[in-house]
Copies of this chain bind each other. A is one copy, B any other.
């Protein structure tokens, strides 16, 4: 390497207002970010000092590891219904995570009557209805079928629904948008089992039912069942966790979570939907024209800046990275634009590869914060060309009775004191 000082960030032109810098900056060589203001030149003796944990033996090996005790706030936040034990939700702390995988212990939960403790030796899947041969499978036998893996998100149709409120809710990003998580799911393609049962020509739908005490069920169009539906046995490499459907869960990549039945025990092939509670009284919504939407399966493209976000406090002006997640239930993310001036100008963020269909895509762009008040936003575009809407556009399109499928652009206001809060902009 040449022994001459490399260029510094202040020599780089901004690519959009508010201090957004070129996303390719971090791929360049010979570029100094100037973040490490602490230099060791004057305190090398201190810097070489050994910390106390180098002077004593550490903890022993363990059969199953756990997070550091110093990360006690990297947990699911629980909002449960005290009047109905077992009915509630817990949220993935998106504001505390990086990369794309959600550790299984932090995958969001939505239960209606608690988490059943299922003995897999007693669990069966029944496939019946409009089939030539009803079949009855235990998990051990299911293991003999070909399996495939799919890295994809699962998102609750009700995620982010505080966005419909008149006033912007002040909450950590994960506590408002964390009903979405991202795992590697592995299991048997549902199509394989359906072909074994022999679907009759008049079949159009499948009614999936879980083995929890609420017997949650959902109607799935046969077309999706024969496309990429998975009878998942594994999540992130190990058997699915109890709260995510142990020992067997239906995975429907890109569709709303309520259809992806946990603790799956029964698939009834029919010629019509069953009109379950969660596809009539819930997970439908009144539109501006007085008609209700129903069977809105796909989760549309969405993005969220996770760093910085509500609850962060920037310590000083200087270089930061704006980082977040984008996903679409209709395919791959094509691009994510970021604004640091409330939407007046936009710059394209760097996307982390591999970019997969119906999967979390991490985006990032370097940002020089000058110390003033600014509004940060991100806007996802998926491979179908669909662009994540502004909140005002979503309301114009869907009216004010919305509750589900809120996917508008999220705005974080950075104040001169470095604090970050939620605004509508």
B196 and A36 form a contact (CB under 8 A) = yes
| Chain B residues closer than 8 Å to A37, beta-carbon distance | 141
- A149–B355 alpha-carbon span in the complex (Å): 12
A133 x B39 contact (CB < 8 A): yes
Q: Is the CB of A40 within 8 A of B136?
A: yes
Contact A184 B100 (CB under 8 A): yes
One of A273-281, A294-302, A314-322 contacting the partner: A314-322
The verdict on A239 contacting B67 (CB below 8 Å), with A3-B200, A39-B135, A136-B40 known, is: yes
A135-B39, A198-B5 given; A213·B55 CB < 8 A: yes
A64's contact among B26, B105, B111, by CB below 8 Å, is which?
B105
**With A5-B198, A104-B65, A241-B66: A53-B136 Cβ-Cβ less than 8 Å:** no
State which of B59, B200, B201 has its C-beta within 8 Å of the C-beta of A117.
B59
Flag whether A282 is at the interface (Cβ < 8 A).
Answer: no
Q: Is residue A57 contacting chain B, with contact meaning CB distance below 8 A?
A: yes
Q: Is the CB of A134 within 8 A of B234?
A: no
Tell me if A98 and B65 are in contact (CB < 8 A). no
- One complex includes copies of this chain to the number of 2
Nearest chain B CB to A228 CB, angstrom units: 12
Inter-subunit contact B65/A106 (CB<8 Å): yes
Q: Is A32 positioned at the interface, with any CB of B under 8 Å from its CB?
A: yes
Inter-chain contacts of A185 with B (CB < 8 A): 99
Contacts of A6 in B (CB 8 A): 195, 198
Q: Is the CB of B86 within 8 A of A58?
A: yes
**Known A-B contacts A51-B122, A51-B265; A33 and B145 likewise in contact (beta carbons under 8 Å):** yes
- With a CB–CB cut-off of 8 A, which chain B residues contact A120? 68, 70
A183 to chain B, nearest CB (A): 8
User: Interface-forming stretch among A41-49, A378-386, A387-395?
Assistant: A41-49
> Is A292 interfacial (CB-CB < 8 Å)?
no
A372 an interface residue at 8 Å Cβ cutoff?
no
- Complex CA gap A120/B77 in Å reads 23
Interface presence of A161 (CB below 8 A): no
- Closest CB in chain B relative to A33 CB, distance in Å: 6
Name, among A64, A143, A265, A364, the residue most crowded by chain B CB atoms within 10 Å (CB to CB): A64
Query: Which 8 residue pairs are nearest across A and B when measured between Cβ atoms?
Result: A58-B114, A26-B146, A99-B186, A53-B116, A63-B75, A40-B136, A40-B134, A65-B105
